[in-house]
């Protein structure tokens, strides 16, 4: 494979024969680019080969779970990534359409130490990316991403034999049953489930029903054009619609999910948003009762609420 470049333009011979990878796509905790202008499919393939090379470098078993979010181009991106992983000698377990938490769960359920989830998360259409990990439950941070960047941009990927692809059929149901088995509601709840026509629409409504909730589905039909708004529960447009539906239906709450299902926004029965640090505090209280003396790691954006709560 040729050394990736950052100056290649679409609709050229170079674009069809040389990996395009802009260095800015390597972020602290994942990788994310605008497809076609910042990375091409050959660049994604180079990323897969680089990831496989890094996994061998650190001595982790070369077995990886791969999934993709619901966008018009995500399957193509995943296939290019898989090709690079296979070139690098990885055993690939393809779980298909997935949420990011589902991919992380698959690492444990399928006994695979590595994961690569093709997703642009809550970003708008046109973006793609990969969330990665090689030592569960830890995902990549600055050190791992930094080394991966060196391997990919420096054309240091090493091709190896032994690559193998297995398609895991039916894993969606396995995940839903696992999630629902951990929660059974103690009283009836009417829940607005808002998915912005993103990936979570294929998972969240059914999971909530399996838990015993009455579900009011809101924009849960999959539509990769995102016709109303981008699936991001931190955006005003989505929160406003969630609040309106709660008031309209008399629901107990609304849960809104982002494009890959690892971000959740909450609106209460009056239509007011409950900020994430308050939700985290409620979870911490419950977990403290189960595990006395626990230490909790909280987001740097959280308020001082955790320090003041007794």
Is there a domain that residue 241 lies in?
yes
- Whether residue 161 lies in the annotated active site: no
Q: Are residues 247 and 265 in the same domain?
A: yes
Q: Are residues 209 and 191 in the same domain?
A: yes
Domain endpoint, select from 127, 155, 171: 171
What CATH number has the domain bearing residue 53? Answer: 3.40.120.10
Is there a domain that residue 295 lies in?
no
Active-site residue identified among 74, 100, 121, 161 = 121
Is there a domain that residue 223 lies in?
yes
Q: Which domain holds residue 161?
A: 13-171
Q: Are residues 216 and 251 in the same domain?
A: yes
Q: Are residues 140 and 184 in the same domain?
A: no
Q: Are residues 112 and 137 in the same domain?
A: yes
d(CA 171, CA 292): 34
Q: How many Å separate Cα 235 from the centre of its chain?
A: 18
Is there a domain that residue 226 lies in?
yes
Q: Are residues 165 and 244 in the same domain?
A: no
Q: Are residues 81 and 56 in the same domain?
A: yes
Domain endpoint, select from 132, 149, 171: 171
Q: Average model confidence (pLDDT) for the chain?
A: 96
Is there a domain that residue 107 lies in?
yes
Q: Are residues 184 and 72 in the same domain?
A: no
Mean pLDDT, residues 164-168 taken together: 99
pTM of the model: 0.94
Mean pLDDT, residues 152-158 taken together: 98
Is there a domain that residue 298 lies in?
no
Q: Is the pLDDT assigned to residue 310 strictly greater than 70?
A: no
Q: Which helix (H) or strand (E) holds 98?
A: none
Q: Are residues 107 and 227 in the same domain?
A: no
Identify which of 282, 277, 235 has the alpha carbon closest to the alpha carbon of residue 256: 235
Q: Are residues 23 and 42 in the same domain?
A: yes
What is the Rg, in whole angstroms, of the alpha carbon atoms belonging to the chain?
20
Indicate the number of domains in the chain.
2
HSE-up (13 A, CA, CB side) for residue 27: 13
Q: 146, 104 in Cβ contact below 8 A?
A: no
Q: What is the pLDDT, as a whole number, of residue 36?
A: 98
Domain endpoint, select from 124, 156, 171: 171
Q: What is the pLDDT, as a whole number, of residue 171?
A: 98
Is there a domain that residue 302 lies in?
no
Q: Are residues 164 and 188 in the same domain?
A: no
| Model confidence pLDDT, tens digit, residues 88-130 | 999 999 999 999 999 999 999 999 999 999 999 999 999 999 9
Is there a domain that residue 284 lies in?
no
Q: Is the pLDDT assigned to residue 309 strictly greater than 80?
A: no
d(CA 287, CA 102): 22
Q: Quote the percentage of the chain above a pLDDT of 90.
A: 87
Q: Are residues 57 and 153 in the same domain?
A: yes
| Model confidence pLDDT, tens digit, residues 64-84 | 999 999 999 999 999 999 999
């Amino acid at each position: 494979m040729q050394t990736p470049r950052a100056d290649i333009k679409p609709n050229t011979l170079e674009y069809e024969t040389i990996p395009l990878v802009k260095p800015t796509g390597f972020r602290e905790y994942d990788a994310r680019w605008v497809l076609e202008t910042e990375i091409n499919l050959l660049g994604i393939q180079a990323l897969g080969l680089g990831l496989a090379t890094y996994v061998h470098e650190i001595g982790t078993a070369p077995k990886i779970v791969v999934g993709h979010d619901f966008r018009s181009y995500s399957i193509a991106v995943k296939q290019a990534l898989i090709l690079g992983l296979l070139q690098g000698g990885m055993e690939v377990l393809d779980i298909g359409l997935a949420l990011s938490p589902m991919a992380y769960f698959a690492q444990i359920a399928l006994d695979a130490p590595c994961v690569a989830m093709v997703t642009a998360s809550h970003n708008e259409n046109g973006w793609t990316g990969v969330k990665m990990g090689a030592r569960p439950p830890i995902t990549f941070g600055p050190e791992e991403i930094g080394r991966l960047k060196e391997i990919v941009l420096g054309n240091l990927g090493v091709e190896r034999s032994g690559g193998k692809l297995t398609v895991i059929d039916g894993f969606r149901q396995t995940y839903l049953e696992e999630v629902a088995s951990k929660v059974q509601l103690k009283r009836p709840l009417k829940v607005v489930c808002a998915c912005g026509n993103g990936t979570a629409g294929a998972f969240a409504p059914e999971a909530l029903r399996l838990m015993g909730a009455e579900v009011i589905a809101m924009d849960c039909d999959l539509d990769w054009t995102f016709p109303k708004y981008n699936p991001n529960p931190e955006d005003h447009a989505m929160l406003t619609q969630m609040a309106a539906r709660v008031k309209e239906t008399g629901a107990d709450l609304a849960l809104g999910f982002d494009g890959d299902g690892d971000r959740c926004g909450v609106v209460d029965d009056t239509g007011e948003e409950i900020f994430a640090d308050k939700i985290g505090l409620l979870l911490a209280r419950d977990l403290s009762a189960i595990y006395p003396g626990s230490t909790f790691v909280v987001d740097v954006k959280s308020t001082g609420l955790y320090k003041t709560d007794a």
